[in-house]
Structure 1
Amino acid sequence: MSTGSLFRDRRQAGKALAQVLGAYADRRDVLVLALPRGGVPVGFEVAVALRVPLDVFIVRKLGVPGREEYAMGAIASGGVRVLNESVRRLLHISEAAIEEVARAEQQELQRREQLYRGARPPPDVRGRAVLVVDDGLATGSTMLAAIRALRVQQPARIVAAVPIASAETCEDLRREADHVVCARNPEPFVAVGQWYENFAQTTDEEVRELLARARLDAAAHGT
């Protein structure tokens, strides 16, 4: 492992994260939802180690027109839309502008839903303990959108779980999630990728393969 990196790759990071999530092992009410694409190899290792089901929760940021890096909300799996009303009012963003951005992002969300899930319906999270897993957190904007979108679906508990994150972002998320697990909080924290020896982009095919393997593993354990 190279100097400065904490994990060889996402799979090793997932194993490390699973070690601090042991309280959720073998529970019938627990579901791991990984954020594609980089969160899926991490979530796979967590789900296999805890012997609980794995699925994906797809989140697409709604960027402000002309300032796309600035989020005015997000859409997520299950037809959920979350809007930041303060941003909308501050920048005087019209409903028509929001709809135009949402339509474009909805197309990509549906593409990924079809590619990753096929005909399988999204999992029912109502009343369940949901572990939302990603490969790391810098600003935490995607995880925040996922938490807010999931909250609408009334799970019993939302756990934001990552192998690596900035301490500040983890603290911020504690105002939104019921439980936040950040396995490592190195400082100074610049970017997630700096803590991985291999941070190559996860492919769509890898996501599909890991989801299929996780379904077989869950079936073997009767989960």
Structure 2
Amino acid sequence: MFKDRTEAGRLLAERLKKYRNDPGIVLAVPRGGVPLAYFVAKELGYPIELILTKKIGHPTNKEYAIGAANLSDYFIIHPGAVSEDYIQQELFVIRTRLKEMYKKFMGNKTPENIAGKTVIIIDDGMATGNTMLGTLNLIRQGQPGKIIIGVPVSSKEAVEMLSKEVNEVVVLLSPEAFYGVGAFYEDFKQISDEEVIFYLSQLQKPS
């Protein structure tokens, strides 16, 4: 059990500091992953950016991920399961939201080139791992040198699945009985836009 995302972020940063000498970048899953990613990036001396991907939900159950999309590409886990028209409609909606998010949180900053770098993806937890799996397929297109996933808590199934896809999954807690990410935090309140902007701006200030 973690007190809050701040405590979890500090603990995760301690486990990830072995990557300090790599050329790298921390990618935060908004919004919940941002406070944790801040502490990891600060510890490693890495720049921080948001992962601007969203899951593509199934037409009958939007929470069930059938793929993921970013501003330039998309990935479907089971092609043919849904119509191309549905996918294109979802892509339009998702990319409109992602453009708004990028402008709000990153302004006019040009995205970092991740080619050859150690990319550390941070979220506040993983349940099924399906959304992360779709995200990985998009990140790989940037040709990073290594991909590391760092989360405080995850289901064993998600860790097992994703360990086959990346260089390392760093997880602090992987309980036998998994009741959802929020069950392992005393304080799991939603992260506001203002908090996201605050954490991102802290690492952009000269020290």
The TM-score bracket by the shorter chain reads: over 0.9
Matched position secondary structure for 1:62: strand
1:98 equivalent in alignment to 2:91? no
Residues 77-92 of structure 1: pairs in structure 2 closer than 5 A: 79-84=72-77, 87-89=78-80, 91=81
Residue of structure 1 equivalent to 2:11: 16
For 2:202 and 2:145, the matched residues in 1 are separated by: 27
Residue of structure 2 equivalent to 1:39: 33
Residue of structure 2 equivalent to 1:3: none
Residue of structure 1 equivalent to 2:66: 72
1:147 equivalent in alignment to 2:136? yes
Shift of 1:204: 1.0
1:56 equivalent in alignment to 2:50? yes
Shift of 1:136: 0.6
For 2:159 and 2:7, the matched residues in 1 are separated by: 21
Residue correspondences, number: 207
Letter in 2 for 1:45: F
Shift of 1:66: 3.0
Contact 1:59/1:142, CA 8 A, preserved across alignment: no
Residues 151-166 of structure 1: pairs in structure 2 closer than 5 A: 151-166=140-155
For 1:67 and 1:88, the matched residues in 2 are separated by: 17
TM-score norm. by structure 2 comes to: 0.94
For 2:7 and 2:66, the matched residues in 1 are separated by: 34
Letter in 1 for 2:73: V
Q: Which string of whole-angstrom CA distances, capped at 9 and with x for unpartnered residues, describes residues 108-154 of structure 1?
A: 11111111111001111111000000001111122222211100110
For 1:72 and 1:189, the matched residues in 2 are separated by: 22
Matched position secondary structure for 2:79: helix
Contact 2:28/2:50, CA 8 A, preserved across alignment: yes
Letter in 1 for 2:99: Q
% same residue:
36
Letter in 2 for 1:169: A
Letter in 1 for 2:31: R
Residue of structure 1 equivalent to 2:2: 7
1:30 equivalent in alignment to 2:24? yes
Structure 1 unaligned spans of 5+? 1-5
Contact 2:2/2:8, CA 8 A, preserved across alignment: yes
Residue of structure 1 equivalent to 2:200: 211
Letter in 1 for 2:162: L
Contact 2:124/2:152, CA 8 A, preserved across alignment: yes
For 1:204 and 1:71, the matched residues in 2 are separated by: 24
Residue of structure 1 equivalent to 2:107: 118
For 2:110 and 2:4, the matched residues in 1 are separated by: 30
